[in-house]
Every structure is written in structure tokens, then in C-alpha cells.
């Protein structure tokens, strides 16, 4: 199938997915059974049907599944397992990218499951690097000093702060995103799946 679909073909696929039982449509999207050009159409139709209410058989069960976090938790566990295996079979930089995908699923899921705790911890994580910067500034750890190893100590402190800002702010943004998410678990699953697809494409390009 070509990457560019004609308007007639797009309309035909949209009609097909609109008439398809919503459980089947969700299953095909979740299992990645659709090619890239049709996956976008399927997701658009599914989002429209869930947003406007579905009149086809099985819509009630689909609504109930919308409040079930099992799909996110299950996928997160699989992502963690894949991340662990990636450190055995992939180069370090690629394994780190795979681990980032797993961290997104786990941290965002925790934020969604425990919104108040996730929001509070996210705020703490966002402020923590600022506290470290203030502490380093007051203790003079950022100032270049004379001596054999004094300049190196300051440089290492700066590097550590840069890493801390990147790590803590990334975790904070994920926690806050999960805790502030107002949609269903199904909607969160779809957003995380889309994010994972983009990250997997980045991994493929770097291999």
C-alpha cells in the first residue's frame, strides 16, 4: 500500500472503521495490525466515536474499558521487560532510548493513578535542581579555583547540575502530565502509544 491514499480510499476506510465493532477497532490499533497510512485514519475514527458516543454493539463495554488502567499497566510492564533486555542485545545509546520509552509509560501511569501524589512529587522534582544549584552556588562549588584539581571539581559540578536538571525536569513533566490528564485510561494509552511510536522511529533511524 502506498504511503499516500486517495480521498476515495480514505473515505472508504473511514466508513469501514466507523461500522466496525469498536472492540475490534481498538484491538487492531493496540496490536499494530494496520499499516501506517491506515493507522492514522483508524485512530481518528476511534477518537471521534469515543468522543461523540458510539451506537454500535459493544459500545457500553468499550466505555467501561475506558476507565480500566490495566492496558496501561500491562503495556508498561512489557516496556520495562523490553528495556531490561535491550541492555543485553543493543548498544548502550540505543538501550538508553528504549529505557526512556519504558520510563514514560511507568511514570505517566503512576501520575494518572495517583494524581495528587504525582502532582506533588512532580513539583518537588521540578524544584530539586534549583535547590541543588543554589546549594552549589552558596558553597562555592561552581567557582573555578587554583590548584591541580580545583578547576576539574567545578567542571564536574556543572556537568552534574546539567544532568540533574535534565533528569529531574523530565520526570517532573511526565508526572505532572499524568496527574493532570483528564481523559480515560484508553485515551492515555493511545497518547503513550503514539509517543512510543515516535521514539521507536528515532531508535530505528539511529541504528
Distance (Å, whole) CA 157 – CA 83: 29
Check: CB of residue 107 under 8 Å from CB of residue 175.
Answer: yes
The pLDDT value recorded for residue 128 is 94
Is residue 45 located within the same domain as residue 24? yes
Integer angstrom CA distances of residue 34 from 31, 93, 161, 191, 196: 8, 29, 44, 17, 16
The pLDDT value recorded for residue 134 is 93
The pLDDT value recorded for residue 207 is 58
Distance (Å, whole) CA 120 – CA 107: 13
The pLDDT value recorded for residue 131 is 93
Cβ contacts of 203 within 8 Å, gap of 6 or more: 94, 97, 98
Is residue 128 located within the same domain as residue 200? yes
The pLDDT value recorded for residue 66 is 45
Distance (Å, whole) CA 153 – CA 170: 26
Distance (Å, whole) CA 1 – CA 22: 24
Is residue 122 located within the same domain as residue 96? no
The pLDDT value recorded for residue 169 is 94
Is residue 96 located within the same domain as residue 166? no
The pLDDT value recorded for residue 68 is 65
Give pLDDT < 50 ranges for the chain. Answer: 1-3, 55-67
The pLDDT value recorded for residue 150 is 65
Angle among Cα 3, 27, 111 to the nearest 5 degrees reads: 100
The pLDDT value recorded for residue 58 is 45
Is residue 124 located within the same domain as residue 96? no
The pLDDT value recorded for residue 148 is 59
Domain that holds residue 192: 114-205
Check: CB of residue 109 under 8 Å from CB of residue 191.
Answer: no
Residue 11 lies in a domain: yes
Each residue's pLDDT tens digit, 35-62: 777 888 888 888 888 876 654 444 444 4
Our count of domains for the chain comes to 3
Distance (Å, whole) CA 127 – CA 89: 36
The pLDDT value recorded for residue 182 is 84
Residue 2 lies in a domain: no
Residue 65 lies in a domain: no
Each residue's pLDDT tens digit, 124-138: 999 999 999 999 888
Is residue 160 located within the same domain as residue 83? no
Is residue 126 located within the same domain as residue 196? yes
Residue 62 lies in a domain: no
Amino acid at each position: 500500500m502506498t504511503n499516500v491514499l486517495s480521498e476515495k480510499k480514505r473515505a472508504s476506510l473511514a466508513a469501514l472503521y466507523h461500522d466496525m465493532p469498536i472492540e475490534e477497532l481498538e484491538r487492531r490499533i493496540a496490536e499494530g495490525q494496520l499499516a501506517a497510512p491506515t493507522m492514522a485514519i483508524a485512530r481518528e475514527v476511534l477518537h471521534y466515536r469515543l468522543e461523540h458516543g458510539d451506537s454500535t454493539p459493544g459500545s457500553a463495554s468499550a466505555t467501561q474499558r475506558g476507565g480500566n488502567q490495566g492496558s496501561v499497566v500491562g503495556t508498561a510492564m512489557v516496556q520495562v521487560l523490553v528495556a531490561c533486555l535491550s541492555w543485553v542485545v543493543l548498544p548502550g545509546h540505543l538501550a538508553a532510548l528504549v529505557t526512556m520509552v519504558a520510563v514514560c509509560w511507568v511514570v505517566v501511569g503512576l501520575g494518572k493513578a495517583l494524581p495528587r501524589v504525582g502532582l506533588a512529587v512532580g513539583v518537588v522534582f521540578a524544584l530539586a535542581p534549583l535547590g541543588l544549584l543554589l546549594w552549589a552556588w552558596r558553597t562555592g562549588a561552581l567557582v573555578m579555583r587554583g590548584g591541580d584539581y580545583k578547576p576539574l571539581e567545578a567542571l564536574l559540578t556543572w556537568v552534574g547540575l546539567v544532568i540533574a536538571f535534565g533528569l529531574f525536569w523530565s520526570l517532573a513533566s511526565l508526572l505532572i502530565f499524568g496527574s493532570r490528564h483528564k481523559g480515560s485510561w484508553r485515551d492515555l494509552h493511545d497518547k503513550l502509544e503514539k509517543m512510543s511510536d515516535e521514539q521507536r522511529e528515532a531508535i530505528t533511524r539511529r541504528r
